[in-house]
Amino acid sequence: MSERPRLTVLSGPSGVGKSTVVAHMRKEHPEVWLSVSATTRKPRPGEQHGVHYFFVTDEEMDKLIANGELLEWAEFAGNRYGTPRAAVLERLENGEPVLLEIDLQGARQVRESMSDAQLVFLAPPSWEELVRRLTGRGTEPPEVIERRLAAARTELAAEPEFHTTLVNTSVEDVARELLALMDVV
Residue 14 touches ligand ADP, criterion: CB under 6 A: yes
- Of 78 and 125, the one with the shorter C-beta distance to ligand 5GP is 78
Residue 136 touches ligand ADP, criterion: CB under 6 A: yes
Distances (CA, A) of 115 to 20, 145, 158: 27, 33, 18
Residue 18 touches ligand ADP, criterion: CB under 6 A: yes
Residue 72 touches ligand 5GP, criterion: CB under 6 A: yes
Q: Is residue 66 within 8 Å of residue 78, measured between CB atoms?
A: no
Least separation in angstroms between residue 132's CB and ligand 5GP is: 16
Least separation in angstroms between residue 80's CB and ligand ADP is: 17
Least separation in angstroms between residue 30's CB and ligand ADP is: 18
Q: Is residue 133 within 8 Å of residue 168, measured between CB atoms?
A: no
Q: Is residue 39 within 8 Å of residue 56, measured between CB atoms?
A: yes
Residue 162 touches ligand 5GP, criterion: CB under 6 A: no
| Nearest partner of 40 among 74, 85, 89, judged by Cα | 74
